[in-house]
Chains A and B, each alone.
Chain A
């Protein structure tokens, strides 16, 4: 119940295309769903996050779509650029007073020029 399942494991997209990464969870107590971006040799950095009271959040070329009933959420990267090539992690946090994030296993995105 504590898992967050992420797919695909790797993704290759042409420049200008749309990258889509999906995540699913079981624990309905999760109340915060961030996406992190990690470049080689660096720590993960927050990209965008959503709470379950909204179905979509957009920041520039990055959009999270959230389906509470299906317990799924996804990251869409519009007009993908080579600079977006990185590993992306979805995550979920336990509600209440707990603060720990549960991460998906990551998706390695390569955007070809």
Chain B
């Protein structure tokens, strides 16, 4: 398996634009997590899914953020409109079950100018 695949690796966008980050979890994994990493706040959980259903989205900072998982092999995190303070590295991770290792993708570095 190629691991968790995220795209794009880097994204530079202008304030106010819509940004969509993509994630393909490891095949067979039931849990998918979206994290945001910044120097100030470290790794923050934004939202996670179990069997494609959002379980906890309390970490989503604002209504500008939304996430979907239309099927077991694909998830998106959308920011609309984007703001400079959204600049961060966004990670997607997946795990086989609640009690097993979470595997992280390589992340998407988002810069909003």
Q: Closest Cβ of chain B: how far from A26's Cβ, in Å?
A: 17
Chain A residues whose CB sits within 8 angstroms of the CB of B102 once the complex forms: 46, 101
* Contacts known (A43-B91, A44-B91, A105-B42); A98 close to B106, Cβ less than 8 A: no
Per the CB 8 Å criterion, the residue count for chain B at the interface is 26
Q: For chain B, what secondary structure do more than half of its interface residues adopt (helix, strand, loop), or is it mixed?
A: strand
Contact A104 B42 (CB under 8 A): yes
Chain A residues whose CB sits within 8 angstroms of the CB of B55 once the complex forms: 98-100
Q: Mind listing 12 A-B residue pairs with CB under 8 Å?
A: A34-B101, A43-B91, A43-B93, A45-B103, A97-B98, A98-B55, A98-B56, A99-B99, A100-B33, A100-B55, A103-B42, A105-B42
Q: Which residues of B contact A (CB under 8 A)?
A: 4, 31, 33, 35, 41-45, 48, 50, 55-56, 91, 93, 95, 97-99, 101-107
20 more contacts with CB within 8 A, not counting A99-B95, A99-B98, A103-B44, are: A36-B104, A42-B107, A43-B4, A43-B105, A44-B104, A45-B103, A46-B101, A46-B103, A89-B42, A89-B43, A97-B98, A98-B55, A98-B56, A99-B31, A99-B97, A100-B33, A100-B55, A101-B102, A102-B45, A105-B41
